[in-house]
């Protein structure tokens, strides 16, 4: 069975969590939580419980998106020798290695 977390616990992994409230207050639903933050309290009940449904990287911590910089405009190495009609190298396509 999955581990259930309560308000105030530290979020162990970023992802989508199932939330179960007091049934008189709200139906179960899903929320996104970020690793290292704390599970929030609920305004309408005292005991919501959170269980991880699906782990996912927080985009700002993902290796492809860290730093927030713009992508390099440099062509990938395989495309650097491609001539686009200028006739500089005499080849319309890169030579086959």
pLDDT at 73: 60
Give pTM, 2 decimals.
Answer: 0.66
Average pLDDT, the chain: 80
Q: 79 falls in which pLDDT band (50, 70, 90)?
A: low
pLDDT greater at residue 89 or residue 74: 74
**Which residues touch 24 (CB under 8 Å, ≥6 apart)?**
45
Residue whose tokens read 């200028």: 86
pLDDT greater at residue 45 or residue 66: 45
First to last CA, the chain: 55
In the structure encoding, which two tokens stand for residue 46, read together? 């005292």
pLDDT at 74: 59
In the structure encoding, which two tokens stand for residue 56, read together? 């996912």
Residues 15-39 have a mean pLDDT of 96
Domain ranges for the chain: 1-58
In terms of C-beta density within 10 A (0-12 exposed, 13-18 middle, 19 or more buried), how is residue 21 classed?
middle
pLDDT greater at residue 64 or residue 84: 64
């Amino acid at each position: 069975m999955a581990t259930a977390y309560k308000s105030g616990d530290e979020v162990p992994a970023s992802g989508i969590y199932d939330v179960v409230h007091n049934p008189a207050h709200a139906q179960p639903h899903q929320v996104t939580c970020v690793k290292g933050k704390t599970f929030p309290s609920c305004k309408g009940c005292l005991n919501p419980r959170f269980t991880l449904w699906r782990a996912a990287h927080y985009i700002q911590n993902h290796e492809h998106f860290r730093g927030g910089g713009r992508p390099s405009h440099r062509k990938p190495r395989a495309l650097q020798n491609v001539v686009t009609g200028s006739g500089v190298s005499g080849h319309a396509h890169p030579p086959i290695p």
